Amino acid sequence: MLLQVLISGIIVGSIYALVALGFILIYKGTNIMNFAQGEMVMISAYFGLMYHIYYKMPYLAAFILTILTAGLCGILIERIVCRPLLKSPVMSVIIATIAVSIIIKNIARLVWGSIYYPFPSPFSLTPYHLGPIMITPKDVGTIVITLILLGLLYYLLQFTKIGAAMLATASNQKAASIVGISVKRVFSLTWAISFGLASAAGFLLAPQVSITPEMGDIVIVVFTAAVLGGLESLPGAVVGGVLLGIVGNLAGFYISTAFKDVVSFLILITILMFRPSGLFSAGAMRKA
Amino acid sequence: MKKHFQKILLLFAFIFFLVAPQVLDNYFIYLLNLFFIAFIVSIGLNILTGFAGQVSLGQAAFFGIGSYTSSLCMIKLAIPFWLSLPLGGVMGALISLLIGLPALKVSGYYLALVTLAFNEIVNLIMMHWKKMTNGTDGLNIPPPKLGEFVLSTDGSKYYIIFLLTFFLFMASRNILRSKTGRAFISLKDSEVASQCIGVNLPKYKIIAFMISAFYASLAGGLHGIALSYIHPQDFNLFRSIIFLMMIVIGGLGTMGGPFIGAALFTLLPEALGKFQEYQELIYALILLGSIIFLPSGLIKLPGRIRALATRAAHKPPASIPAA
């Protein structure tokens, strides 16, 4: 049974990891902590619902179209909300992205109401039995899609010019613009990619839970995952996400589901208090 | 000149609010009560965020802690109202140490995350500790007594709330003008520089947290009295965000900002009337607009308009006439 809980923890955790990656991309790349990341996951699930169920598009087409729509939202939010606030204090940016998250959540509430929408998975639900554990093709599909996306992101950042420009901007904006990188365009791109990741996560999460406007509450888990990984490290986010998926599932299974959230909040506070630079860094340091 | 103007304004406001309940009907008195409560919280938050520069997304947690502490003291321990109210405040201030201590290590985004998590934990405790808080059924609060006198009407609660608000407002003015207040402001401007001139950083950060938590918790106690009923939902994250909205939209780090913000957010739900459904959306849009276009708050609006007007008046003519 323990093994089963671990496996399903890893599956949920891989979805967390996708969202956390997007969150860190924005934080590292543009110095903005985006409190609306969770709402993007939620609204993307609705986009997926719209394309896949209402317009009856095939799964893959709906998936790609959702990612593109979310990317466009990312560019819009960067352009309208974040660019005017580039030189504002941290406080204003925090409040602005919180405002964005409230707006997205309420749009979802007004358009789709508070009804639970089920979302079908293209993969079958009949489980394989591998010794003591059960695993469904749906779970395998989730993991595989996550791995493909991670691979794509890795390729983009390591082997393309765009990725090099993004990494350069993240490490030093001024120097990047001196060597001819358009920092503004990189910012837009960063937001687009980050929201694309969030929307993929929303698409994968939707069959696991039903779609509601409250789906965005996973943002807390994502914060915790990102903080666990040190907030600056992309591999750290993946490890943090998976770790948190496992811990959350263990807490839900052995203590109670109500306790699941408390655990991630407690981890968040504890890490920020004692190791603000994350689990995997060399030493604790102050963070501003 | 400006000093005198402020004093006269204050005196007029005092007299106005003293007379107001004699002419207004019950509903407006109730609204004024809510306004004062929001005002107290935002004064406290403004000291922490506006003056000392520490972001907090957990103010509603202290609001709730004060509310539950003072109500439960009255209901379960039969402690009289005049004692249970400050007990709630003290409880909040003590618990704020929990959140003030991590604030010594982190600031900015990280502090926002810590306070957010704190708010959620406190909220979950309120919902699930059914024996104590009655969970999501909420808690009914009997009218408080002052000696023989039972405060059951909005009018009788009004004077308690108003006088306390006035006292807390004057106290905050004095704090901000003292050495402590100047330490807060230096801390916001530059932590390094203020340490260099000998400001004890940890001490003043903790003091700022305790003051703001004390204000929020006292207001929480009054909130329970004014509504006669409290529910964990009154103290969720969204409420914390509303408190932050009040001071940001009103004007961070000013004395009048919290007043304007608290008034705005007490009246807005009433003004929205049947558009209640859109309330959160409208709040968020207002917030976003004011952050982008009016970052220093509504209180600076006349100044901005004047600046724009003078700039327009002194604008050089568009085309220079040919000589």
- Give chain A's domain count: 1
Predicted confidence band of residue A97 (pLDDT cuts 50, 70, 90): very high
pLDDT higher than 50, residue B323:
no
Residue B296: φ, ψ to 5°: -95, 5
Ranges of H-type helices in A59-89: 59-77
Round to whole Å and give the CA distance between B259 and B42.
8
Contact across the interface for A99 and B285, Cβ inside 8 Å: yes
* CB-neighbour burial class of residue B29 (10 A; exposed 0-12, middle 13-18, buried 19+): buried
pLDDT higher than 60, residue A84:
yes
Predicted confidence band of residue A285 (pLDDT cuts 50, 70, 90): very low
Question: Is position A254 within any domain?
Answer: no
- Which of the residue ranges A129-133, A182-186, B46-50 would you say has the lowest mean pLDDT? A129-133
Predicted confidence band of residue A268 (pLDDT cuts 50, 70, 90): confident
Contact across the interface for A85 and B106, Cβ inside 8 Å: no
Residue B230: φ, ψ to 5°: -130, 155
**Nearest neighbour of B102 by CB, restricted to A223, A261, A273:** A273
Contact across the interface for B108 and A268, Cβ inside 8 Å: no
Q: What is the pLDDT of residue B2?
A: 66
- State the residue range of the domain holding A71: 11-120+131-213
Sorted by where each begins, the domain ranges of chain B are 25-271+282-311
Q: What percent of chain B has pLDDT over 90?
A: 21
3-state secondary structure of B37: helix
Predicted confidence band of residue A148 (pLDDT cuts 50, 70, 90): very high
Whether residue A238 contacts residue A229, with contact meaning beta carbons closer than 8 Å, is answered with: yes
From A136's Cα to the closest Cα of chain B, the distance in A is 33
The residue of chain A nearest to residue B277, with distances taken between CA atoms, is A110
Whether residue B161 contacts residue B275, with contact meaning beta carbons closer than 8 Å, is answered with: no
pLDDT higher than 50, residue B86:
yes
Q: What is the pLDDT of residue A254?
A: 82
Q: Which residue has the tokens 């992101």?
A: A153
Averaged pLDDT, A30-36:
88
Residues 6+ apart with CB under 8 A from A75: A188, A191, A192
From B279's Cα to the closest Cα of chain A, the distance in A is 9
pLDDT higher than 80, residue B167:
yes
Question: Is position A201 within any domain?
Answer: yes
Residue A73's alpha-carbon distances to A47, A192, B153, B175, in angstroms, are 12, 7, 51, 45
Q: Which residue has the higher pLDDT, B173 or B135?
A: B173
The DSSP call for residue B282 is H
Topology adopted by domain B25-271+282-311: ABC transporter involved in vitamin B12 uptake, BtuC (1.10.3470)
pLDDT higher than 60, residue B321:
no
In this structure, the strands spanning A133-135 and B139-140 are unpaired
Contact across the interface for A287 and B248, Cβ inside 8 Å: no
The reported pTM is 0.87
From chain B, the residues in CB contact with A268 under 8 A are 113-114, 117
Q: What is the pLDDT of residue B315?
A: 63
Determine how many CB atoms are found less than 10 A away from the CB of residue B195: 13
Biggest CA pair distance of chain B: 90
Contact across the interface for B285 and A272, Cβ inside 8 Å: no
Tens digits of per-residue pLDDT, B234-267? 898 889 999 998 998 888 888 888 999 999 988 8
Question: Is position A220 within any domain?
Answer: no
Predicted confidence band of residue B320 (pLDDT cuts 50, 70, 90): low
**Nearest neighbour of A272 by CB, restricted to B102, B252, B283:** B102
**Nearest neighbour of A288 by CB, restricted to B108, B285, B292:** B108
Q: What is the pLDDT of residue B319?
A: 56
* C-alpha closest to that of A235 among A3, A25, A79: A25
Q: What is the pLDDT of residue A286?
A: 45
Predicted confidence band of residue B198 (pLDDT cuts 50, 70, 90): confident
Residue B123: φ, ψ to 5°: -65, -40
Q: What is the pLDDT of residue B317?
A: 55
- What ipTM describes this predicted complex? 0.84
User: B109 — contact with chain A (CB < 8 Å)?
Assistant: yes
N- to C-terminal Cα separation, chain B: 47
Whether residue B265 contacts residue B287, with contact meaning beta carbons closer than 8 Å, is answered with: no
Averaged pLDDT, B311-321:
64
Q: What is the pLDDT of residue A284?
A: 45
Round to whole Å and give the CA distance between A95 and B126.
26
Whether residue A115 contacts residue B282, with contact meaning beta carbons closer than 8 Å, is answered with: no
Q: What is the pLDDT of residue B7?
A: 82
* C-alpha closest to that of A248 among A2, A4, A7, A13: A13
**Nearest neighbour of A269 by CB, restricted to B49, B55, B102:** B102
